[in-house]
Amino acid sequence: MQRLILSKKNHITLLSGILIAIAYFGKVGIDSPVLFQWALIVASAFGLAPIGIQAYQALRVKVVSIDVLVTIAVLGAFLIREFEESAIVTFLFLFGAYLELRTLNRTRSAIKELTEMAPDSALKRAENGAFEQVEIDAVSVGDVLLVKTGAKVPVDGTVQSGEGYINEASITGESMPVGKTADSQVYAGTILENGTLQIVADRVGEDTTFGRIIEMVEEAQDSKSEAERFIDRFSKHYTPAVLLIALVVWAFSRDIELAITILVLGCPGALVIGVPVSNVAGIGNGARHGILLKGSEVIHHFSKVDTIAFDKTGTLTIGNPRVTDTELYTEDPESVFSYLASVERESDHPLAKAVMASVRDTSFFPVANTDVVKGGGIVAQVNSHRVAVGNVALMEQEQVNLNKKAMEDMAAFEQSGNTLVLTAVDGELKVLMGIRDQIRPDIKKHLQKLKLLGVKNLIVLSGDNQGTVDRVAYEIGLTEAHGHMLPEDKSHYIAALQAKGQIVAFVGDGVNDSPSLAQADIGIAMGSGTDVAIETSDVVLMNSDFSRLPHALGLTKATANNMRQNIIIAVGVVIFLLANVFFSEWMNMSIGMLVHEISILVVILNGMRLLRYRLRSQ
């Protein structure tokens, strides 16, 4: 019976609304006080049923909930034969709850979209070798699964056979499909755009990368900051306190109407719902834009950030070095380049790859007696010439004569932030190359936005030489640059800034910078949703798009503001109502309930604005 009544709450609300309409028709339309009164009594009884049941259930577990306050108030109104008030209050309370559900679902929709991207079924190979569709929960590690074109990969696994292209946007934020063949890794929640794959499950359910992202976001939307825990504790004592005050007022004034009005006005409505609503909408907006925010504490810290420190390679730069300057000291560049390419072809050093990318059309010679000099370069025999490729130290070791022109060129190259690669043939310098990591496009604009959002210091911390770091800092408009830093130096530096009272965020790739990510007040991992990044950082930017960073900062500021607005609205409404009970004539239970329900809707709608938040382009 209880369950039936609760499940028909919406119908009861509608019925009670109709009865109230009939009552007013009875009063105004056909002038029948009997109809007026009875319709209201029936409406009150219907409306009170679900509220009373909820109140009873709450009291059974020793919680004085809003339902308890409203139930007592309505019973009180009955007692003094104020049927009009009892009917309207129950109706407003139920109708408000209905609207709250509808609007709350909207604020939660962004995160729901994400969780609904989780795969729910898989084609699993049965013992007879045929593939059968099973629930995702029935898949365990080691199972062989079939993934067809257009389907979601159900687990994290390894490709056993077949090939295809997968859209991994749900994990990396990168929508360019990635080719997969035997032994490739595939991730749950990604989509096979074409081809067919048979995969072996390595990790299933919540253990998959996608499962962890979802779990993180879900926990984030319900995580509470210090202030919210305070509100929670406060509201636990608040409702019983309201009940007590109402009793005291009644005991002294013997005025039931005043006492029950206080009960209704004291409902904590907007206060308890305002902050969680802002939180969920803010985190939802982030999730839609590839920004994972780990909860409301992170939002508060990040919104107040003073200093953002960046790792250089892979964060400010693309992490893909290229030859940018070349100087020749030879009449016959073609053969020198083909010697150079022949030697570099054998190496998988990032600089060698950059060199190979710059020398395309060339012929290759067989290479003999290759000698890799650690920290120097490569020496080898090519076409009966001794070819040395490497840095200055290697040239000195090879006793290559560096003339004045070469020295000047080298100084100039270094000045502009290059790493030097020299090529000597038979002890004579032939080519000087300067290699640079490309700075991310538009980064200056995005850093400028961060400044406009109130970040005071933008610092690069890098293991590279100071010259390179200074140039990068100058080019993109950072305030400070520090080179020659080991990972632990970076985290010490951050700790020193924090000791000065600054709130520091660190942006890194999440792999080799974990000490700094952990040390900073806000660790921001950029690049992809890898496990390490999710574990150690507070904010994860799902792909390498730097523009998400200003959006993330703007969003946390907007969310923190939104929470503040909601608290002010909620507290303001309660103060306003209580003041009016004592100092005005027009205040009664129905108006109090109306104002309460409106204030709840106002805070929810205010929170909902965050879903549409976008950084204004400056």
Residues that bind another protein (CB under 8 A): 2-3, 6, 53-54, 57-58, 61-63, 65-67, 97, 100-101, 104-105, 108, 111, 218-219, 221-222, 235-236, 239, 272-273, 276, 279-280
> Which positions ≥6 away from 159 have C-beta within 8 Å?
180, 181, 182, 183, 184, 185, 186, 197, 198, 199
H helical segments located in 359-501: 392-397, 404-415, 443-452, 466-476, 487-499
Cα dist. 390→71, 131, 223, 341, 379 in Å?
84, 55, 53, 13, 8
Please identify, using beta-carbon distances, which residue of 97 and 197 lies nearer to another protein: 97
| Calpha distance 525→246 (Å, rounded) | 52
Is 348 designated active site?
no
Residue whose structure tokens are 């390490």: 532
| Calpha distance 87→73 (Å, rounded) | 11
Q: 210: which strand partners?
A: none
- Give long-range contacts, CB 8 A cutoff, 24+ apart: 75-84: 75/48, 76/256, 76/259, 76/260, 76/263, 77/44, 77/260, 77/589, 78/44, 79/256, 80/256, 80/257, 82/257, 82/589, 83/37, 83/40, 83/41, 83/44, 84/23, 84/40, 84/590
H helical segments located in 61-189: 66-79, 83-116, 169-172
Q: 434: which strand partners?
A: 325, 420
Give the SS3 label for residue 617.
coil
The whole-angstrom distance between residue 48's C-alpha and the CA centroid of its chain comes to: 42
DSSP H or E run through 60: helix 33-60
Which of 96, 99, 100 shows the shortest CA–CA distance to 70?
96
Amino acid at 432: L
| Calpha distance 211→383 (Å, rounded) | 56
- How many distinct helices (H) and strands (E) make up the chain? 22, 20
Q: In what order do the strands lie in the sheet with 480-482?
A: 291-293, 539-541, 522-526, 504-508, 307-311, 457-461, 480-482
Which of 110, 56, 362 shows the shortest CA–CA distance to 221?
110
Contact 67, 74 (CB under 8 A): no
The distance between the two most distant Cα atoms of the chain, rounded to a whole number of Å, is 117
> Which positions ≥6 away from 102 have C-beta within 8 Å?
none
| Calpha distance 505→301 (Å, rounded) | 9
Q: Are strands 191-203 and 185-186 parallel, antiparallel or unpaired?
A: unpaired
H helical segments located in 430-547: 443-452, 466-476, 487-499, 514-519, 531-536
Task: State the Rg of the chain over Cα.
Answer: 34
| Calpha distance 180→182 (Å, rounded) | 7
Please give the structure tokens belonging to residue 521: 């007040």
H helical segments located in 149-225: 169-172, 209-222
Which of 293, 280, 297 shows the shortest CA–CA distance to 113?
280
Catalytic residues: 311
